[in-house]
Structure 1
Amino acid sequence: MGVSMFQLAPDLTVSRLCFGTMTFGEQNTLPQSFCLLDAAVDAGINFFDSAEMYPVPQRKETQGRSEEFIGRWMRARNVPRDRIVLATKVAGPSGQMTWIRGGPKSLDAKNISEAIDNSLTRLGTDYIDLYQIHWPDRYVPMFGETEYDPGQQYESVAIEEQLDALGNAVTSGKIRYIGLSNETPYGVMKFLQTSNNMFSNQKIVSVQNSYNLLCRNFDCGLAECCHHESISLLAYSPMAMGILSGKYFSPDGGPSDARMNLFRGRYSGAESRYNLSNAILRAAVAEYTSIARKNGVSPAFLAIAFVLNHPLVASAVFGATKLWQLREVHNASKIRLAAEITAEINEVHRRYKNPCP
């Protein structure tokens, strides 16, 4: 049985599993990436997500390879363009990635237009189905931060300018739809308000935020916005960087090639957000693992099924470096959680709330 589908927009149907490619070009070689993409299509997945900064951990020498690998695969396999849905992202301001347009210093019209053209070249396509702002131009607490500090606000590019640049790309046929990522309720509503007041062709259809058993912040405000405004959640990190498999808490600490072992010390953002020494995190994972085993499924099955059970989730954006991981996620997408299991999950969540914000 293939993956079920979701109508993200009137003429945009996506699989409820979205294959995230941020390992392509770092953990996965070109031949390995081809095999994974082949297997994803064979499983019924038509939705593929990337970003101009990928792969991760980000570095100058590999930047853009994930998009390049997708483009090379499409050409090598002669994939009909209308058979797949391509999503990618423009990087927000960054003091670290100076190799991407000098930072980029901001998400102004010039940066957005240049990023779109560069992604189109790397992907080897005429258009991108879903183009997303990877993180806001303005200050917001994100990637593990939980409290808003007004003192950290800095001058940022007006949302009107960002939408104007994206709208020009829609008009010219370079992108079809617009998405946000790592956004807040304020950000989603401000983009929608500005789009509704000033523009007619900025079709914002989704927000890609983290959502998993260890991070349910989406439900605290953003879910209400998305429900009333018909915005779908693309839930990234449904396995919480693989932590919900339980592998990092095994006696041997997990495989040496697992991401948080392989890149230990080089992945500061992820290590602070997914702190393996956090006692609350460890306790929560142990509880979810127990629920899974008690009900005869793997922890990975429980994690994926939980995310797809959410009524506002259009697709779960997952990563896989090995074929067996992709198959496990595919099989997990067929599971429907019984009400009793959901109640057990919610009880654990009440005691160990969002240890990976």
Structure 2
Amino acid sequence: MKLVQLGQSDLHVTPICLGTMTFGEQVNEADSHAILDHSLARGVNFLDTAEMYSVPTKAETFGSTETIMGNWFAKHPGARRKLVLASKVAGPSRGMPWVREGKGMTAQDIAHSCEASLRRLQTDVIDLYQIHWPERHVPAFGAVYYDPAKETSSTSIHEQLDAFDKLVKSGKVRYIGLSNETPYGVHEFVRLAEQHGLPRVATVQNPYCLVNRTWENGLDETCHRLGVSLLAYSPLGVGLLTGKYDASGLTGPGAPEGTRLSAYESARKQRWGRPEALAAARRYNQLARDNGMTPTQMALAFCYTQWRVASTIIGVTSVTHLDENLNAWGTTLSPEVLTQIDAIRWDMRDPAL
């Protein structure tokens, strides 16, 4: 895989990134380390994590993913130099008081979170430090509409950038990014950074897959013109686009055990658990089979080959799943298949938005 540049930074990463939010909940430490070993051996140089992981988030496992990764770095002293490491500072609590109290996200919050992540990760620097979700009250994680009446923002974007500037100047962070952002947010972060000589965002990490192509409704042009790269997460729609729920549904007889959607009610209550999302996924999955591909191959190829995507974040629970995801690299989709994909989207739109 040829390395790609992230935004206007000097970070060059593989177009596949290993996401780690399953480490510490669905995947124990030993198996997590085996996945990290194999990922490095297969040539992936990009890892993504977050302070709030593992997922589903809860007080008992808060920070566990970073701790598991830090223990792996300690066992493999040379690995850290070979890898681009991304983590995230959580936005306002949204019902998770173990992350932080209060509605805002102050400069002190950002600094404290970064220090804690560095300790857990057992590293001196985070290559890409991202805001996990906006401090502003914007639609995210399945919410559809912006409602100004619900706005509780108390930390300006300028203040947030000032906090990141201090982290960059102190050598604790190299570059910054956003996640679950809107066109307004990206423009404002870039505008203020350029106006005041503050760190410029290199990336935005948002959902992008066959059942959620909302990125194409304005954010793609925004980021293309501003020179900001997309890190696409949930390319398999949290498993909907693997085909494993096609026959059984998300729960009940025959449903796969131990998956996020079958095991965790909190995951089913979000966008990925909507009946419309499963209905659309079944149509895409059948299209893949009709054209000699597995559903996983087609769904990943859709992301891997999009000009909009710099790197696709894959989340796995085993070395076998990792190999399946990596082996999909190089799969191409014919113009006819792409036309049929667009036809399904026209009928089903973006049910997991």
Which TM bucket (shorter chain)?
Answer: over 0.9
> 2: CA distance between counterparts of 1:281 and 1:183?
21
| CA-CA distance at 1:10 after TM superposition | 4.7
Tell which deviates more after alignment, 79-88 or 5-14.
5-14
- SS of residue matched to 1:87: strand
Question: Counterpart of 1:81?
Answer: 80
Q: Does 1:43 align with 2:39?
A: no
- The question of whether the paired residues in 2 share the 8 Å contact of 1:247 and 1:253 is answered with no
- The question of whether the paired residues in 2 share the 8 Å contact of 1:49 and 1:87 is answered with yes
Q: Deviations over 1:14-68 (max 9, x none)?
A: 1111111001111111100010001111111111000000001111111111011
After superposition, residues 308-323 of structure 1 pair within 5 angstroms as 308-323=304-319
- SS of residue matched to 2:282: helix
TM-score by length of 1: 0.94
- The question of whether the paired residues in 1 share the 8 Å contact of 2:135 and 2:153 is answered with no
- SS of residue matched to 2:224: helix
Letter in 2 for 1:187: G
Question: Counterpart of 1:213?
Answer: 210
Tell which deviates more after alignment, 280-289 or 334-343.
280-289
Letter in 2 for 1:89: K
- SS of residue matched to 1:112: helix
Aligned residues: 348
> 2: CA distance between counterparts of 1:60 and 1:142?
21
- The question of whether the paired residues in 2 share the 8 Å contact of 1:260 and 1:271 is answered with no
- The question of whether the paired residues in 1 share the 8 Å contact of 2:240 and 2:278 is answered with no
Q: Does 1:303 align with 2:304?
A: no
Q: Deviations over 1:151-205 (max 9, x none)?
A: 11123211111000001111111001100000000000011111111124x0311
- The question of whether the paired residues in 1 share the 8 Å contact of 2:194 and 2:200 is answered with no
- The question of whether the paired residues in 1 share the 8 Å contact of 2:301 and 2:331 is answered with yes
After superposition, residues 105-184 of structure 1 pair within 5 angstroms as 105-184=103-182
- The question of whether the paired residues in 2 share the 8 Å contact of 1:211 and 1:218 is answered with yes
Tell which deviates more after alignment, 148-157 or 225-234.
148-157
TM-score by length of 2: 0.95
Letter in 2 for 1:61: E
- SS of residue matched to 2:47: strand
Letter in 2 for 1:351: D
Tell which deviates more after alignment, 31-40 or 283-292.
283-292
- The question of whether the paired residues in 1 share the 8 Å contact of 2:131 and 2:178 is answered with yes
- SS of residue matched to 1:55: coil
After superposition, residues 1-357 of structure 1 pair within 5 angstroms as 3-8=1-6, 9-102=8-101, 105-200=103-198, 202-251=199-248, 252-263=253-264, 265=265, 267=266, 271-276=269-274, 278=275, 280-357=276-353
Q: Which runs of 5 or more structure 1 residues have no equivalent in the other structure? A: none
> 1: CA distance between counterparts of 2:70 and 2:85?
10
> 2: CA distance between counterparts of 1:113 and 1:323?
35
- SS of residue matched to 1:249: coil
- The question of whether the paired residues in 2 share the 8 Å contact of 1:18 and 1:315 is answered with yes
- SS of residue matched to 1:206: strand
> 2: CA distance between counterparts of 1:178 and 1:155?
20
> 1: CA distance between counterparts of 2:242 and 2:79?
35
User: Measured at CA, do residues 184 and 33 of structure 1 come closer, stay the same or move farther in structure 2, by a change above 3 Å?
Assistant: same
- The question of whether the paired residues in 1 share the 8 Å contact of 2:189 and 2:200 is answered with no
> 1: CA distance between counterparts of 2:9 and 2:142?
34
- SS of residue matched to 2:61: coil
Letter in 2 for 1:102: E
Letter in 2 for 1:316: T
- SS of residue matched to 2:236: coil
Q: Deviations over 1:236-262 (max 9, x none)?
A: 000010111121232344321111112
Sequence identity (%): 43
Q: Which runs of 5 or more structure 2 residues have no equivalent in the other structure? A: none
CA RMSD of aligned residues (A): 1.4
